[in-house]
Amino acid sequence: MDLIEDLDDPSLPLTQACGALGVSRATLYRGTHPPSPPSCVVRAPSPRRLGDDERQTVLDVLHSEAFVDQPPPEVYATLLSQGVYLASIRTMYRVLAECGESAERRAQRAPATYSKPTLTAAAPNQVWTWDITKLRGPLPGVFYYLYMVIDLYSRMVVGWLLAEHENAAHAERLFADTVARHGIAPGALTVHADRGSPMRSDLLAQLFAVLGVARSFSRPHVSDDNAFSEAQFKTLKYQPDYPGEFASPQHARGWCQQFIGWFNHGHQHSGLALFAPADVFCGRVAEVAARRQVALDAAYAAHPERFPNGRPVVRLPPTAVYINPLPIDDADLAPTPGSQVAAHTVARSPRRELQAAAVPALPS
């Protein structure tokens, strides 16, 4: 801009000089004619302003024992009912603000903080996760409630219950039966869930305390903290033969019995390297992997050119599953088995009719 100002050639328009230097004229004008600083204008007091004595009277009344804990609207209305008018509500607030007394004085609840659940499962029956979903009934507004508990390490459904109502009593009965059926020792199991009322009920908390079962909860409004149960319900409701609506509780219970039998024993789960949940839960992975490896070796021996990466090897399920795994830098602080989850991919293969035995349902 100094260069443009130094130019003393009336034949060179200012517009061309600014264009040659890549400077806008507005920038030039702002640089050469900076705005003058704003003048400090002192406003005269409003003629409607209360006098100092009147303001002190208002402040004394607000500090009095009768009104020290009351907000200005309460004080204003009470005085007015007594035939006394000192000032408007806004003026009372203005007087308090000048003294730094307009902030909230009542006891306030501190913001709730929720820790991020971090769980690890390195074997079956270390971490279970559960949730409740609605199944549409025959009429609008009619739903059946499916309670489902899955083992986090193997994804196997270890217990379920279908009821016409959602309450803590059904959850207590489900877990009392499921823990007893699987022979869970005290202190060996952690149960993870979201923050629904049945999950946080005192009835279920007392049962877990008696059984020696630890509890873990998702953070509010964070569905990823319970991703395995959410994915399980999506697998259920995206089946090709999912009815959409169930004619009766018996219809819903029968369909769920069939689905869970297939899911546990016939579903080649993508999160388990295409092993069935029951194979992982019952320790049959090595046996199934050996049969698969024999088939792959035979295919490789017959046509090695079809395997450009060399001899194929059977993939195995993960050795540990996590819920919100800790960063690598915090690996030394990782929890011991009893907590976990990594989001898994839901297989979309069509469900086949299998005669595999399902986990028995509790009567509703």
| pLDDT above 90 coverage of the chain, percent | 67
In this model, does residue 203 exceed pLDDT 60? Answer: yes
Q: Is residue 122 packed enough to be buried (19+ CB in 10 Å), middle (13-18) or exposed (0-12)?
A: middle
Q: Which CATH architecture has domain 114-364?
A: 2-Layer Sandwich (3.30)
**Pairing mode of beta strands 214-217, 190-193:** parallel
Domain boundaries of the chain, sorted by first residue: 2-32, 52-98, 114-364
Per-residue model confidence (pLDDT) at position 79? 95
Instruction: Answer for the pair 153, 128: CB distance below 8 angstroms, yes or no.
Output: no
Q: Is residue 99 packed enough to be buried (19+ CB in 10 Å), middle (13-18) or exposed (0-12)?
A: exposed
CB within 8 Å of 298: residues ≥ 6 apart = none
In this model, does residue 109 exceed pLDDT 60? Answer: yes
| pLDDT above 70 coverage of the chain, percent | 84
Per-residue model confidence (pLDDT) at position 328? 64
In this model, does residue 343 exceed pLDDT 70? Answer: no
Q: State both tokens at 226.
A: 């319970």
Span 4-17, mean pLDDT? 66
Q: Is residue 152 packed enough to be buried (19+ CB in 10 Å), middle (13-18) or exposed (0-12)?
A: buried
**Please, which pLDDT band fits residue 163 given cuts at 50, 70 and 90?**
very high
CB within 8 Å of 209: residues ≥ 6 apart = none
CB within 8 Å of 177: residues ≥ 6 apart = 159, 362
Distance separating the N- and C-terminal Cα atoms of the chain: 85
Beta partners for residue 97, in sequence order: none
CB within 8 Å of 111: residues ≥ 6 apart = none
As a whole number of angstroms, the distance between CA 253 and CA 162 comes to 6
Instruction: Answer for the pair 268, 274: CB distance below 8 angstroms, yes or no.
Output: yes
As a whole number of angstroms, the distance between CA 170 and CA 60 comes to 60
Give the mean pLDDT of the chain.
Answer: 86
pTM recorded for the entire structure: 0.66
Per-residue model confidence (pLDDT) at position 108? 80
Q: Is residue 305 packed enough to be buried (19+ CB in 10 Å), middle (13-18) or exposed (0-12)?
A: exposed
Pick the range with the lowest mean pLDDT from 33-37, 154-158, 184-188.
33-37
Greatest Cα pair distance, the chain, in angstroms, is: 106
In this model, does residue 149 exceed pLDDT 90? Answer: yes
Instruction: Answer for the pair 283, 81: CB distance below 8 angstroms, yes or no.
Output: no
Instruction: Answer for the pair 196, 171: CB distance below 8 angstroms, yes or no.
Output: no
Position with higher pLDDT, 214 vs 69? 214
Backbone φ and ψ of 104, nearest 5°: -65, 125
In this model, does residue 345 exceed pLDDT 80? Answer: no
Q: What is the pLDDT of residues 328-339, one digit of tens each?
A: 655 554 445 554
Q: What is the pLDDT of residues 248-287, one digit of tens each?
A: 999 999 999 999 999 999 999 999 999 999 999 999 999 9
Identify the CA nearest to 19 among candidates 30, 8, 27: 27
Q: Is residue 75 packed enough to be buried (19+ CB in 10 Å), middle (13-18) or exposed (0-12)?
A: buried
Identify the CA nearest to 179 among candidates 190, 169, 168: 190
CA distances 169 to 181, 203, 206, Å, are 18, 7, 12
In this model, does residue 32 exceed pLDDT 80? Answer: no
**Please, which pLDDT band fits residue 245 given cuts at 50, 70 and 90?**
very high
**Please, which pLDDT band fits residue 360 given cuts at 50, 70 and 90?**
very low
Per-residue model confidence (pLDDT) at position 2? 60
DSSP characters for 103-146? S--S--PPPP--PPP-EEESSTTSEEEEEEEEEE-SSTT-EEEE
In this model, does residue 364 exceed pLDDT 60? Answer: no
Instruction: Answer for the pair 219, 253: CB distance below 8 angstroms, yes or no.
Output: no
Pick the range with the lowest mean pLDDT from 126-140, 172-186, 191-205, 345-359.
345-359
Per-residue model confidence (pLDDT) at position 289? 97
